[in-house]
């Protein structure tokens, strides 16, 4: 489908979704965003749903301003995937050992490594820039600097919620590795610190929603936020890089006889800010639950823990600010999912997947998400499908 255009106070709202299927709370959030004085464009992805601060599945283009709550608290959250030389024939019938080895190598939930993981200890992992990255930690907000030791130990860890590590098969039976995580607790604390500052600034007091408080260009508050924002986005990128190295290490050891090799990794943020130019304007583009889909850009659009995912290539549609959806998108809240579904439902909907099937992950049940095929179909003018993946192992936080 192409987009549907809805009227907005300052800019039209371009929706790659049927407005009739979007909950009123999300539509109101979008209308609120369209009132911001600095807004230059608003695109809405097919996985759109209500979110804290701003709508998940929204792309907000502003000039001279950025809204920290629209970025969200998991700054730099995103995906990584890599195609391997392994095939379905290389996999054992019982995948529980492989899942256990992954969980031992990559801490989940609130877990962290006992000591910081040395990136220099992995075959083929480029380490240029790591020392400089940690050297810049002394320039982030003073309120979180005492967290460096924890941040270093959480580098290369999964987190919780909808974050995951998966082993997948494509339609040709080739094994892929895929993972989803962000900037862990340090990103959350930086985000909350700056959201609090933004909400107290005088120019934000008349906004329709205090969660839409912005920093504006050429102010010390904006400079401080941009510094911390871009640092946290790098943290998320390095976190995924290190997790993928740990995951590859597990696969090498578990499939020693097959001598697995790995193609170039695909990696994309889906909660972040980028400086981009459209229609002659330099804009700050916030993607909250959206990936960059410029012409030729590779991206990853996951479904749920039982339905599979897509590797895509961007078509460079500037109407969407070169963006596409970041996943299937929730169709019900976590609490609603827990009320509606049982562990028996979870077992049924994740049949054939080696994963947790206990009450702690019922809120991540496939039935709580929109159908991924429908979401992909609604953005055929934004991305081209390269591969469809189906998970056989899923590690949840």
- Residues recognised as catalytic: 326
Q: According to the annotation, is 316 in a ligand binding site?
A: no
Q: According to the annotation, is 163 in a ligand binding site?
A: yes
What is the C-alpha separation between 69 and 38, in angstroms, rounded?
15
Q: According to the annotation, is 342 in a ligand binding site?
A: no
Q: According to the annotation, is 303 in a ligand binding site?
A: yes
What is the C-alpha separation between 242 and 13, in angstroms, rounded?
38
What is the C-alpha separation between 159 and 163, in angstroms, rounded?
6
Length of the chain: 397
Q: According to the annotation, is 271 in a ligand binding site?
A: yes
Q: According to the annotation, is 335 in a ligand binding site?
A: no
Q: According to the annotation, is 114 in a ligand binding site?
A: no
Q: According to the annotation, is 304 in a ligand binding site?
A: yes
Beta-carbon contacts of residue 345 (< 8 Å; ≥ 6 apart) = 362, 365, 367
What does the buried/exposed string (b/e) look like for 9-19 if buried means 16 or more CB atoms within 10 Å of the residue's CB? eebebbbbbee
Q: According to the annotation, is 325 in a ligand binding site?
A: no
CB atoms within 10 A of CB 261: 12
Q: According to the annotation, is 58 in a ligand binding site?
A: no
Q: According to the annotation, is 53 in a ligand binding site?
A: no
Beta-carbon contacts of residue 208 (< 8 Å; ≥ 6 apart) = 32, 35
Beta-carbon contacts of residue 191 (< 8 Å; ≥ 6 apart) = 68, 71, 72, 73, 74, 75, 232
Q: According to the annotation, is 279 in a ligand binding site?
A: no
Q: According to the annotation, is 270 in a ligand binding site?
A: yes
Longest CA–CA span in the chain (Å) reads 65
Q: Find the angle CA(102)-CA(371)-CA(100) to the nearest 5 degrees.
A: 10
Report whether 66 contacts 215 (CB < 8 A).
Answer: yes
CB atoms within 10 A of CB 363: 20
Q: According to the annotation, is 165 in a ligand binding site?
A: yes
Report whether 275 contacts 54 (CB < 8 A).
Answer: no
Q: According to the annotation, is 122 in a ligand binding site?
A: no
**Known binding positions for Mn(2+):** 74, 163, 180, 270
**Known binding positions:** 74, 162-166, 180, 270-271, 302-305, 309, 326-329, 396
**Known binding positions for GMP:** 162-166, 270-271, 302-305, 309, 326-329, 396
């Amino acid at each position: 489908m192409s987009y549907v255009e809805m009227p907005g106070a300052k800019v039209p709202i371009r929706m790659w979704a049927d407005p009739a299927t979007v909950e009123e709370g999300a539509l109101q959030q979008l209308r609120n965003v369209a009132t911001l004085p600095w807004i230059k464009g608003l695109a809405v992805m097919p996985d759109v749903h209500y979110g804290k601060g701003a709508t998940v599945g929204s792309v907000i283009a502003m000039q001279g301003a950025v809204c920290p709550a629209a970025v969200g608290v998991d700054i730099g959250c995103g995906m990584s995937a890599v195609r391997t030389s392994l095939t379905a024939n290389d996999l054992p019938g019982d995948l529980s050992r492989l899942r256990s080895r992954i969980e031992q190598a990559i801490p989940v939930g609130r877990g962290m490594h006992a000591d910081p993981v040395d990136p220099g200890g992995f075959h083929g992992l480029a380490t240029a820039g790591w020392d400089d990255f940690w050297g810049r930690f002394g320039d982030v907000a003073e309120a979180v600097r005492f967290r460096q030791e924890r941040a270093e130990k959480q580098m290369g860890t999964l987190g919780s919620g909808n974050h995951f590590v998966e082993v997948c098969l494509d339609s040709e039976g080739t094994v892929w590795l895929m993972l989803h995580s962000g900037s862990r607790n340090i990103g959350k604390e930086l985000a909350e610190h700056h959201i609090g500052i933004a909400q107290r600034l005088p120019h934000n007091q008349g906004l329709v929603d205090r969660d839409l408080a912005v920093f504006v260009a050429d102010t010390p508050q904006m400079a401080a936020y941009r510094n911390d924002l871009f640092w946290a986005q790098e943290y998320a990128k390095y976190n995924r890089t290190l997790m993928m190295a740990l995951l590859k290490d597990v696969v090498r050891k578990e499939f020693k006889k097959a001598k697995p090799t790995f193609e170039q990794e695909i990696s994309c943020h889906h909660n972040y800010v980028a400086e981009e130019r459209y229609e002659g304007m330099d804009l700050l583009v916030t993607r909250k639950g959206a990936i960059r889909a410029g012409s030729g850009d590779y991206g990853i659009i996951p479904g749920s823990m039982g339905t599979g995912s897509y590797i895509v290539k961007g078509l460079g549609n500037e109407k969407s600010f070169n963006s596409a959806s970041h996943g299937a998108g929730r169709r019900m809240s976590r609490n609603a999912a827990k009320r509606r579904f049982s562990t028996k439902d979870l077992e049924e909907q994740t049949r054939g997947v080696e994963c947790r099937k206990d009450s702690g992950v019922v809120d991540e049940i496939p039935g709580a998400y929109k159908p991924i095929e429908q979401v992909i179909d609604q953005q055929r003018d934004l991305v081209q499908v390269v591969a469809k993946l189906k998970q056989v192992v899923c590690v949840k936080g």
